[in-house]
Amino acid sequence: MERGLVDPEHRTITGLPFDLYSATLAFLANTLAFLGYIDQARARMDETLLKARRHVHTLAHGLCFANWLDWITSSPMVHVEELLTLTTEHGFPFFLGLGLTFRGRSLTTCGQVQEGLVLLAQGQAELRAIGAVVSTSLLFTWLAEAYAKLDQPDEERRCLAEAARFIETNEERAFEAELLRVQGDLLTACGGQPAAEQRYRQAIAVAEGQRAKLFQLRASTSLARLWRDQGRRTEARDLLAPIYGWFIEGFDAPVLKEAKALLDELR
């Protein structure tokens, strides 16, 4: 980068609509979350949003990452409405599309599945219309989970197949472990426990390879739950205890509380 291109006050590059420091903090926050450092991720995200409020486009970017952080930790997405208001007011189609998917995911999680499914599909359509492909595999995975709640396994399989195809075609592997875990959930619900176990093991292996501790914990929790239901309680405990024991912070996050509750039951 040439000297003089960065504004020392706002750290923007001429011609780009970003406060680079705030935008980089957002990436750092989510990276820390993937790695399992939840409290540090939250602190960075708080700093992101505080600094981003001086620049509307950077704020939209930061709010998107804040919602992703909430999802990574299985927390309620508390920044959805602000993101949608901002993007509607300023006409940011990319961030609007993501905002619609975040709202759809939130509604699905809260039990308003049909309404959530409509918004997930609408948000995906908005993104497709502008040629955006980022996180497409994750959005198909969210659609699959919504169809699962509506007991539509054929649609769930279709969405999971689309997510897998996108990963292989575009090499967007950040959410591959989560896709494998959800595939395992579908197989578990359909009575395919051996195949489900294989998917969970694959999810754990992918997460380990990426050092994505939260995704490793999610997949381990799913596999431990399967083994518990099969009467393999000792194996389940021995799987879940080491990965849960790795964490040193963020114990109020729902993803850790869920694992802890299962671990306590197994003990």
pLDDT at residue number 20: 86
Give the integer Cα–Cα distance in Å for 257 and 173: 26
Query: Contacts from 203-209 at CB under 8 Å and sequence distance 24+?
Result: 203/177, 203/178, 204/177, 206/173, 206/176, 206/177, 206/180, 207/177
Q: Look at 10-24, 108-122, 220-234 and tell me which has the smallest mean pLDDT.
A: 10-24
Look at residue 182 and tell me if it is in a domain.
Answer: no
> Which domain CATH number covers 140?
1.25.40.10
**Domain residue limits at 158:** 89-172
Residue 27 lies in a domain: no
Q: Is 60 exceeded by the pLDDT of residue 204?
A: yes
Model confidence band, residue 1 (pLDDT cutoffs 50, 70, 90): very low
Q: Is the Cα dihedral 234, 202, 72, 100 positive or negative?
A: negative
Lowest mean pLDDT among 162-176, 195-209, 215-229: 162-176
Residue 122 belongs to a domain: yes
Tell me how long the chain is.
Answer: 267
Q: How many CA atoms lie within 13 A of 113 on its CB side?
A: 12
In this predicted structure, the answer to whether residue 11 has a pLDDT above a threshold of 60 is no
Report pLDDT for 7: 46
DSSP state of 12: P
Return the higher-pLDDT residue of 21 and 214: 214
Residue 107 covered by a domain: yes
Residue 262 covered by a domain:
no
Q: How far is CA 254 from the centre of its chain?
A: 13
The answer to whether residue 31 sits within a structural domain is no
HSE (side-chain half, CA atoms, 13 Å) at 237: 9
- Rounded to the nearest 5°, which phi and psi values hold at 13? -100, 135
- 126: in domain: yes
Does the residue 166 lie in any domain? yes
pLDDT of residue 134 exceeding 90, the answer is: no
Torsion of CA 98, 101, 103, 107, to 10 degrees: -170
Structural domain total, the chain: 1
The per-residue pLDDT for 5 is 35
pLDDT digits (tens, 9 = 90+) for 35-83: 999 999 999 999 999 999 988 999 999 999 999 999 999 999 999 999 9
